[in-house]
Amino acid sequence: MTNIKNLILLFVFTLCMFCVHAKIWRVNNNTGVVADFITFTAAVTSASVLSGDTIHIEPSATSYGGATISKRLVVIGAGYLLNPAAGGNTGLQVSINTSMLSSITILDGANGSRFLGIYLENTVTIGVSASTYNLLFEKCNITSFTFAAGAHDGISIRKCYNKNRPVSISGGNLSNFVMENCLLNDELGFGFSFSNFTGTGCVVRNNGIRVANVFNCPNAYVANNIIISPSIATFTNSNVKNNIFSNASQTFPGGAVANQTGVPEANIFTLTGSDDARFQLKIGSPAIAAGVTIAGYTPDCGAFGSTDPYKLSGIPPVPSIYLLTVPASIPSGSATMNITFSTRNNN
């Protein structure tokens, strides 16, 4: 029955609409499954995998390892928080396993790469400077990002998640760095620091940030965030608009407008459900329609606000199978069996 389930799960990945002109490669290390590769390194270093190709990291109970990437790739996983018994969401994928990669180093040549639905186990290292990277990390379970010395431009982290792992954006000098619609939940006191926002065009918008220690975000446009912290956040030279803070003593740089302070967390979020669903806004939340109005639209604050909000469990924008029924046995002599599965479009 395991092979049947794997074949049906494969159906999910073959429907991917990314890079239809390029080749799609499968990485799977589960016993009994035949795929193109069993490790991420083998896929990335293969001469057959070309710039512009897509790599599917299929669900597994173990990590697929890491790699140094110097070609433009689309890397797609199954999401995270898929096990309800471990704070995850119910019924989003048949498999409750994630698509985990360890340390990743990105070099010039990987410009334009995209990572979606991946659990990033360790630090992502941007190894060299490039004029414009145009890297996208979307719907990933993230940790820290470290940049080599020099200028870096064009990194986007969108609709990503972190709980109780260090998050820092350190090294190098960053411009046009965007973090939007992310959930960062630090209960252990690591703190969040984006101290190398030294260039222009850095944006931190519509995030839900729960931090037990310091939050430092200089030289950026900071808007529509919800920041739960016992400490005062630091926004040196930042443009701070329409954020909500639990700390009643929060201070602001000149020009800050429409920020709310001293708002208890319990007044904002539902605080029920899975580890990410609990940060949805409750009825009557002061974060509802409290963001910066643009072109007549006023978004909610937090990760679930804006026209492109956070998606539970980081389910990537490809079809998924969320329900599968396979007979426990087949009558002797039977040439057929009935399998029922349900799919949904996650665009």
Q: What is the pLDDT along the chain (347 residues), one digit of tens a residue?
A: 444 444 444 444 444 444 345 799 999 999 999 999 999 999 999 999 999 999 999 999 999 999 999 999 999 999 999 999 999 999 888 789 999 999 899 998 999 999 999 999 999 999 876 667 899 999 999 998 988 888 888 999 999 999 988 888 888 888 999 999 999 999 888 888 888 888 899 999 999 999 988 889 999 999 999 999 999 999 999 999 999 999 999 999 999 999 999 999 999 999 999 999 999 999 999 999 999 999 999 999 999 999 999 999 999 866 544 444 555 566 676 666 665 544 555 55
For residue 133, tell me if it sits in a domain.
Answer: no
Q: What is the pTM of this model?
A: 0.87
Residue 254 shares a structural domain with residue 345: no
Number of domains in the chain: 2
Beta bridge partners of 157: 137, 179
Residue 32 shares a structural domain with residue 108: yes
Residue 337 shares a structural domain with residue 270: no
Residue 113 shares a structural domain with residue 229: no
Helix (H) or strand (E) holding 216: strand 215-216
For residue 160, tell me if it sits in a domain.
Answer: no
Identify whether the C-beta of residue 106 lies closer than 8 Å to the C-beta of residue 128. Answer: no
Residue 113 shares a structural domain with residue 188: no
Residue 20 shares a structural domain with residue 115: yes
Residue 184 shares a structural domain with residue 288: yes
166-202: burial string, b at 16+ Cβ within 10 Å, e else:
ebbbebbebbbbbbbbbbbbbeeebbbbbbbbebeeb
Residue 255 shares a structural domain with residue 224: yes
Strand order in the sheet with 215-216: 67-69, 104-106, 124-126, 145-147, 167-170, 192-193, 215-216
For residue 23, tell me if it sits in a domain.
Answer: yes
How many whole angstroms separate alpha carbon 331 and alpha carbon 336?
9
56-68: burial string, b at 16+ Cβ within 10 Å, e else:
bbbbbeebbbbbe
Helix (H, G, I), strand (E, B) or coil at 2: helix
For residue 233, tell me if it sits in a domain.
Answer: yes
Residue 284 shares a structural domain with residue 344: no
For residue 144, tell me if it sits in a domain.
Answer: no
Residue 70 shares a structural domain with residue 183: no
Query: Which residue's entry shows tokens 């939007």?
Result: 180
For residue 150, tell me if it sits in a domain.
Answer: no
For residue 138, tell me if it sits in a domain.
Answer: no
Please give the full DSSP string across 264-294, using - where no structure is assigned.
Answer: -HHHHB---SSTTGGGSBPTT-TTTT-S--B
Residue 274 shares a structural domain with residue 341: no
For residue 246, tell me if it sits in a domain.
Answer: yes
Identify whether the C-beta of residue 148 lies closer than 8 Å to the C-beta of residue 130. Answer: no
Report H helices in the chain.
2-14, 40-45, 265-268
Residue 180 shares a structural domain with residue 306: yes
Instruction: Tell me which residue range forms the domain holding 272.
Output: 172-310
